[in-house]
Structures are given as structure tokens and as C-alpha cells.
Structure 1
Amino acid sequence: MADIPKSLNFRTANADDASALQQLIQAAFRAEDIDIAHIAKTVTDPDGDFLIASNEAGDVVATIAVSKREPDLARIFMLAVDQRWQQAGLGRQVLAYAEEYCQRTWGVTRLGLDALSTRQKLISWYLRRGYLETGETKPFPRDAYSDLDLPEDLVFVQFEKSISPLDV
């Protein structure tokens, strides 16, 4: 295993980062279907950003996307950590940075995200980070994955977390 980064440096992604982000997300998600157009759209959206975490050498080690959805609500999605450093605590640091970024940038007091209903370890991880299930679900886009044998009850479970406004 590569050395765990001692500190992370964060920046917002730009259009030139889209391809590298796609590769990182596809490797972390173990999926080949991440649409670069969706990544590029988020990078250029005035109410959204991809945040990039790099190590001391400047290598991109993780990313997370954020989007303002309502005056007091931001959504967090596509948290991806380089496979070499998964389970090393980087995801927790990246998520915490994204939460603070949403507070500082948009002044939101609520954060939302979703997780696949079959990802019990991930759901438990989000619960430990203070996210609570809202009781709502979103359907999984089965049509886009008609060639896969998917569980009949597969859905996205919705989570939300209340945060205090930052003193400015």
C-alpha cells in the first residue's frame, strides 16, 4: 500500500480536470459508466463544484461533488477515494471539507446525499458521520442498466444532515 498522505490540499476542479476525475471515480466506484459530460457540467455549474484533494506531491487522491439545491440545502455526491488509500480515513476528511465548503460558499444549514440500498457498510458510514435517513428513496435508473441482474428492491436511500451556520 502506498504511503497514506499526511495532509490533504483542496481546490475546486476546472474543465481540464474532467478526464482525470472520471478516471478516479470510475476506479473508486469500480464502474466504467461514469459520464464525463456530467462531470464537466458540474465543474462549470455556478451552483456546483467538484472538490479535489491532493497529497503533498500534488497527486489527486480523492474527489467529491457538491451542488446547491435550495437556499439552505446542498447535495453531496460522487465521493471517490483512490483505491490505494481507501479505508485510510481520507473519505472522512474529504466529506468534512465538503460540508464546510458548502457552509462557507452557500451558507446552507442542511446537507443531503444518497446511497444505494445494497451498500450497507456505506450507509453505516454515513450514519456515523451524522447523516440520518429521511425515509425517502429514489428509484434506481434500471433502464440504463438493463443488461445487469439487479435486485428488485434496489433504490437510492436519501440522507440528510443539519449543520450550524458559520459565523462570518
Structure 2
Amino acid sequence: MDRRTAPTFRNATEDDLAALVALVTCSYRGDTSRAGWTTEADLLDGNRIDADVLRADLQRPLSRVVVMEESAALVACAHVCADGDAGYFGMFAVAPERQGSGIGKQLLAECERIAGDDWQLPAMRMTVIDVRDELIAFYQRRGYRRTGVFKPFPYGDARFGLPKRADLRFEVLEKRLRAEALA
């Protein structure tokens, strides 16, 4: 019998910093990340998020780090913020052993609700490493489209990882949340 309680959402606090850094890192980096399907272990080493960057995200206006707990354990998190004329979705992490269970879809939907309903933003954007075909396909199935807009990977900034390849870059994905036209 599965004794898990239903997942709940809450906004992260500074008390969550260490647990969030650990969750995000184990979801994407190192051998523990290989238990899930979102691993970047073949692309990057090192941290996925820096505690100081995360602290700044917690403190700025129209910015939330949403955590998902299940049976009092942190199982997923994401950052959602206002970024100009759209919401921005990032730092999405689900514990490797819980990936594929549907909680990531629930968390993404909650962040879209915050951006669209609470903040009245017409769209959500995100950046994804463009060689992550399976991850991009996941977002496309949820209504995101490839924009063809690319941003450089922050080579040389160890706060975001240590690249194992020289060809990494981000592609911007976008989803309309509200009927209003985008600027």
C-alpha cells in the first residue's frame, strides 16, 4: 500500500535553500540524476543552481520558487517570475525517483496558473539546452513551441555548471497562456 499523501504546493523560503540546491543538483547532475530521464550528466558537471542566485529569486518582486511536497518531503520545485511581457519558467526539478509520475506536469500547470491568472501575463517562456530533444518534446506536448531564438550558455560561470561540450546553447520556448496578443 502506498502511504504517500497528495502533493501540495507552497512558496519556498530561505530556510529551503540547501534542500532546493540539493534537489535541483541531484535531478540533473551526477550519477543520482541518471535514475530519472531529465539528467544532464553527459552534458554538464557541477552545480545546476547557486544558493545566492536562488536567494535573489526568492527576494525579487513577481518571482516565486514553488515547491511541491509529498508526505512532508520536497519532491519537486520550479521558479516562475515575470520577465517583461511574459512569465519565465525555470529551475524545474523533480526528484529522480519521482520523475514520470505526473507531479512535474502538475507543477508546470501551477506555475502557468500563477503567471496567467495571478499576474495576468499572456505567455510563459523558458530556455532549454537545445540538444535536449526529449525534454523539448515534453514541453511541446504541453503546448510550448520552439521560437528559433537562441541564447548563449554561460560558459565560464561555474554557478551554472561545468560544460562537457563546447556546443551548448539555450533555445527559447513559449506558450500562450491568455487570449491577449503578445507584444
TM-score tier (shorter): 0.7 to 0.9
The match for 2:86 among 48, 55, 73 is 73
* Preserved contact between residue 46 and residue 162 of structure 2 (Cα < 8 Å): no
Number of equivalences = 160
Question: Which structure exhibits the higher relative contact order, with contacts defined as CA atoms closer than 8 Å and separated by 6 or more residues?
Answer: 2
Please give the secondary structure, in 2, of the residue aligned with 1:18: helix
Q: Which runs of 5+ in 2 are unaligned?
A: 30-44
Q: Is contact 1:4-1:85 (8 Å) kept? A: no
Whether the aligned pair in 2 keeps the contact of 1:4 and 1:88 (CA below 8 Å) is: no
Structure 1 SS opposite 2:156: helix
Structure-2 residue corresponding to 1:36:
51
Length-normalised TM-score, structure 2 = 0.80
Q: What do the CA deviations read for 1:84-104 (whole angstroms, capped 9, x no partner)?
A: 101211111110111011123
- Partner secondary structure for residue 164 of structure 2: coil
2:147 paired with 1:143 = no
* Equivalent in the alignment of 2:76: 62
Distance 2:57 2:3 in 1: 28
Q: How far apart are residue 48 of structure 1 and its match?
A: 0.8
1:151 shift after superposition? 3.9
Report if the CA contact (8 A) 1:15-1:44 is conserved.
Answer: no
Matched to 2:82, the amino acid is K
Question: Could you say if the C-alpha distance between residues 6 and 119 of structure 1 is closer, same or farther in structure 2, counting changes exceeding 3 Å?
Answer: farther
Percent identity (aligned) = 29
| Residue 147 (structure 2) aligns with | 134
Paired position in structure 1 for 2:131: 118
Deviation at 1:7, TM superposition (A): 2.4
Give the whole-Å Cα distance in 2 for the aligned partners of 1:4 and 1:114. Answer: 36
Is residue 2:97 matched to residue 1:95? no
Task: Please say if 1:161 is aligned against 2:160.
Answer: no
TM-score (norm 1): 0.87
Equivalent residue, structure 2, for 1:9: 8
Which has the higher mean CA deviation after the structures are superposed, 87-96 or 122-131?
87-96
SS at match of 2:128: strand
Structure 1 residue 37: deviation in Å? 0.3
Give the alignment's Cα RMSD to 1 decimal.
2.0
Give, as a single letter, the amino acid of the residue that structure 2 aligns with 1:20: A
